[in-house]
Amino acid sequence: MSYIIPVIIVVILTYGHMKGVKVYEAFIEGAKEGLIITYRIFPYIAAMLIAVGMLRRSGGLDFLLMLLSPISNAVGIPQEVMPLVIMKPLSGSGALGVLADILKRVGPDSLTGIIACTIMSSTETIFYTITVYFGSIGIKNIRHTLAAALIAEIAGVVAAVIICKMIFKV
């Protein structure tokens, strides 16, 4: 599994080279965009890390997690991951800040860290997407969209927990 990243890179570069893409120039162009994206998301991450940090240090987060523990225990979601489960549908950059906070605490290669990363990369910011997409064309009645999207989101969280526990048995 650890060679997956070099393999992806070499496959994409070889394919691009065969198709006549100036791979170096294209890479630089994209890399500049990556720099700009990081610059743009930094304020969101900082804002969220401050809020989560304050909430955790004050004991407020433990209290909220205790309120949610019946749900997390029933599904077997590690308690540390719950803030991410709640934040992810609402705000992508907010969720990234929450994920950073979780990884800092449990470590990126722990089972809990891997579950959190899996949830982050397999579900989308549905409230935001629904608002923007329907808003852009003036739809008022969204019918069953939110219900079905939330069902998908919940299925994703449960599946992430089960699949990660199966693959990375400890």
Binders in 92-131 for another protein, by CB under 8 A: 94, 96-97, 99-100, 103-104, 107-109, 114, 117-124, 126-127, 129-130
Cβ-based nearer residue to another protein, 43 or 69: 43
- How far apart (Å, rounded) are the C-alpha atoms in residues 77 and 70? 10
Q: Is residue 170 a contact point for another protein (CB under 8 A)?
A: no
Judged by CB under 8 A, the residue of 67, 70, 145, 170 near another protein is: 145
**Cβ proximity to another protein, 79 vs 130, nearer residue:** 130
CB 83, CB 52: distance < 8 Å: yes
Contact call for residue 55 and another protein (CB under 8 A)? yes
Shortest Cβ distance from residue 87 to another protein (Å)?
Answer: 8
Site for another protein in 20-39 (CB under 8 A): 21, 23, 26-31, 33-35, 37-38
Helix (H, G, I), strand (E, B) or coil at 161: helix
By CB under 8 A, residue 159 contacts another protein: yes
Nearest distance in Å: CB 52, another protein:
7
Residues 6+ apart with CB under 8 A from 71: 77, 82
User: Residue 117 to residues 86, 103, 127, 161: CA-CA distances in angstroms?
Assistant: 14, 9, 20, 11
74 binds another protein (CB under 8 A): no
Among 52, 143, 149, smallest CA distance to 101 is for 52
> Closer to another protein at the Cβ: 72 or 157?
157
Q: How many residues in the shown chain lie near another protein by CB under 8 A? A: 96
CB atoms within 10 A of CB 67: 10
DSSP character for 80? G
| CB of residue 73 to another protein, shortest distance in Å | 20
- In this structure, are residues 93 and 41 in contact, taking their beta carbons and an 8 Å threshold? yes
- Closest Cα partner for 56 from 109, 108, 115, 105? 105
- Smallest distance, Å, CB 83 to another protein? 10
